[in-house]
């Protein structure tokens, strides 16, 4: 009986494909089968050449054997054992994917206005005050990373914030959809329509207002947000404390995380929900 560890080792680096082939063998039952028949069983779509390579690895572990003429494969294991090994290999594939897709996380920080006692306590390096990625650099990284959509979701913005926002959106590719989600847009009516209206229209920046009124029976009549999020597609996201304000760009200490992978997908799901209920301006 092949050892589980040997089966996983010999199936590497394609445990998912190996699991599919094992499930095919289990469904076919006892006997010798051509590689084409194995690949077509169970609606498995694997190229015969790839399947032969994976089965050759499993043969080393004693799971299957190749006929002397090289045209067929067989196994001495019963269907239950083959099914168990297929489940084992599915687990190995999931573990491999988790490791490959493990999200990276980097702290983005805005240090307090200089001179700062905090910054004096933390050794820095060129371009990294206190040793951290500056929030402004994190936002620009998001802008340049966006391929289809860039979303900036901030509850508050001021004059300096609009300048900061301009730098972020202008760093993105011209073909990228650009969305700004604000809280209670009416308070920014003059800024959005007069002071920055021409630029917003020229950049084709869509404005959304996440400030939703509820009827009676709710403790707070308005549903809104306090989160600060910047999202590039569903691949990279910032979640933190920095508003698009002057204070968020060098006055007070701000901190947030830059995440990708599965964590960015979770942020994208949240933003998707917000965009579906936010008011289009």
Q: How far apart are the first and last CA of the chain?
A: 67
Q: Where are the domains of the chain?
A: 4-99, 105-280
Q: What is the pLDDT of residues 140-184, one digit of tens each?
A: 999 999 999 999 999 988 888 888 889 999 999 999 999 999 999
Residues facing 239 on adjacent strands: 229, 257
Q: What is the pLDDT of residues 242-276, one digit of tens each?
A: 877 765 456 789 999 999 888 898 999 999 999 99
Q: Check if the beta carbon of residue 278 is closer than 8 Å to that of residue 204.
A: no
pLDDT at 44 over 70: no
* CATH assignment of 4-99, among 1.10.238, 1.10.10, 1.20.81, 3.30.40: 1.10.10
Average pLDDT value over all residues in the chain: 88
Residues facing 255 on adjacent strands: 109
**Helix (H) or strand (E) run with residue 280 in it:** strand 279-280
What is the CATH class of 105-280?
Answer: alpha beta
Total residues belonging to the chain: 281
The pLDDT assigned to 168 comes to 94
Average pLDDT over residues 109-114: 88
How many Å apart are CA 62 and CA 28, to the nearest integer? 19
Class of residue 179 by CB neighbours under 10 A (exposed 0-12, middle 13-18, buried 19+): buried
The pLDDT assigned to 103 comes to 67
- Cα–Cα nearest to 181, from 149, 228, 144: 228
How many Å apart are CA 97 and CA 82, to the nearest integer? 23
Peptide bond into 267 cis (omega under 30): no
């Amino acid at each position: 009986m092949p050892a589980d560890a040997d089966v996983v080792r010999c199936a590497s680096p394609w445990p998912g494909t190996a699991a599919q082939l094992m499930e095919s063998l289990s469904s076919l039952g006892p006997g010798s089968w051509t590689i084409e028949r194995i690949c077509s069983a169970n609606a498995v779509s694997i190229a015969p050449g790839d399947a032969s390579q994976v089965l050759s690895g499993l043969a080393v572990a004693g799971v299957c054997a190749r006929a002397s003429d090289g045209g067929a494969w067989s196994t001495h294991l019963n269907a239950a054992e083959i099914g168990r090994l297929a489940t084992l290999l599915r687990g190995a594939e999931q573990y491999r994917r988790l490791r490959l897709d493990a999200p990276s996380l980097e702290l983005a920080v805005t240090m307090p206005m200089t001179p700062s006692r905090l910054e004096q306590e933390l050794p820095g390096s060129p371009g990294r005050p206190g040793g951290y990625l500056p929030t402004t650099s994190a936002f620009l990284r998001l802008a340049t990373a966006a391929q289809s959509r860039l979303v900036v979701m901030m509850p508050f913005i001021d004059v300096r914030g609009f300048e900061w926002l301009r730098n972020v959106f202008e760093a993105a590719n011209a073909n990228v959809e650009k969305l700004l989600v604000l809280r209670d847009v009416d308070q920014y009516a003059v800024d959005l329509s007069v002071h920055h209206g021409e630029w917003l229209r020229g950049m084709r920046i869509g404005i959304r207002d996440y400030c939703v009124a509820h009827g009676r029976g709710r403790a707070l009549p308005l549903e809104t947000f306090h989160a600060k999020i910047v999202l590039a597609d569903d691949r990279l996201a910032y979640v933190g404390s920095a508003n698009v304000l002057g204070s968020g760009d060098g006055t007070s200490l701000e901190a947030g995380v830059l995440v990708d992978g599965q964590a960015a997908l979770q942020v994208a799901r949240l933003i998707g929900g917000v965009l579906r209920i936010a008011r289009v301006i």
